[in-house]
Amino acid sequence: MFSQAVNKPSIMVFPSDDWMENNNCMDVIDNQGLKIKVPNYAKALLNDDLVQVISTIEGLMKERNYPLTNLSLTLKDIADRNALSNMETSEDGTGIQEGPKDKLLSTARPDIVLYVFWKINQIGPKKSVTFRLSGIDAGTNKPQATAEGTGNELIGSSLPVMLKTSILSHIDNFNAQLMTYFDELIVKGREISVEIQVYEGSSKKLNSEINDDGDELSDDIKKWMKANTVNGAFTPQTKTATKMQFVSTRIPLRNQDGEAYTADDFGTALRKYLRKTYSLPCSNYIIGTGKAVIVIGGKSQ
């Protein structure tokens, strides 16, 4: 059903949150009375140094045959489709479902988010660059590779040259960390979580019996999960009449066409199965890029 033939994880380069904070590129918004900070990447990309740094990092990763998705181009793509907003709320206005970073990631679908931080050190005419690279799984937000250091002091060098010089002695080890993790993903699958909710007025609850053997709807959902996860890997966490949760759910990296297979794709497949098998009105959405939510008995709010 799925193709796992892939050589390298796809990468998208972001400025780190502390760089965003230091450069006044975080917006403060009111989320149901709670003040929270969210990154403003459109503003950040007006910084010429950031554009040069992202280009330098992308160049180093491209030389090592990593597929790349560019932050600026993804922002433009979303804006062209009028899909970008600072924050999105659920339809009933109860709170934020998807932030700007989540919107970018769900559009670009990278395997790894590569956060970069840097600062320029200057003593007299000499300059050096201190940097930090962090490779984060785009779905779980778990760190998988790190590299940091300070380059040699140079005179008259541009930021891209200093940064590249600083990183070169660390890049091979960073690459090895990424590939160790990605090789594991190819075998075990991408890790996501799944939540199934049931509306009060639904014709079926998760404990509704579906056959003469006494199987419940929840039993069939677990059978579907086992058949559609890599090596049947998932861990049930919560089970009531109106809610089921699964963690450590392993899904394939790619679909049969070789395209990235995501939590949203997995949730959509389960929604369609429930609709076709039980004629249940269902909907699904994602929280972040690593959690699929399926709602039985109506459309999500």
Q: Does a structural domain hold residue 117? A: yes
152 and 48 fall within a common domain: yes
Q: How many CB atoms lie within 10 A of CB 72?
A: 15
Asked if residue 152 lies in contact with residue 48, where contact means CB atoms within 8 angstroms, the answer is: no
177 or 8, which is more confident = 177
Instruction: Kindly state whether residue 2 falls inside one of the protein's structural domains.
Output: no
Q: What's the pTM value of the predicted model, to 2 decimals?
A: 0.79
User: Nearest CA to 8 among 64, 55, 59, 71?
Assistant: 64
Q: Do both 287 and 139 map to the same domain? A: no
> Where among 187, 212, 236 does a domain terminate?
187
Is residue 1 in a domain? no
Together in a domain, 172 and 44: yes
Are 176 and 193 in a shared domain?
no
* Weakest mean pLDDT among 25-34, 218-227, 242-251: 25-34
Q: How far is CA 275 from the centre of its chain?
A: 27
Statement to judge: residues 71 and 123 lie in one domain: yes
**Total tally of structural domains belonging to the chain:** 2
Q: Is the pLDDT of residue 65 over 80?
A: yes
The pLDDT value given to residue 6:
54
Residue 56 lies in a domain: yes
Indicate whether 66 and 136 sit together in one domain. Answer: yes
pLDDT band of residue 299 (cuts 50, 70, 90) is low
The answer on 140 and 15 residing in a single domain is yes
Q: Which of 162, 132, 163, 128 is nearest to 145 (CA)?
A: 132
Do 84 and 31 belong together in one domain?
yes
Assign residue 86 the CATH number of its domain: 3.40.50
Owning domain of residue 266: 189-296
**What are the start-end ranges of the H helices in 81-142?**
100-108
Calculate mean pLDDT across residues 127-138.
94
Going by C-alpha positions, the residue among 286, 254, 257, 256 that lies closest to residue 270 is 286
The chain-wide mean pLDDT, for the chain, equals 87
My answer on whether 180 and 241 are in the same domain is no
- Domain stops at, among 127, 155, 187: 187
What DSSP character marks residue 93? S
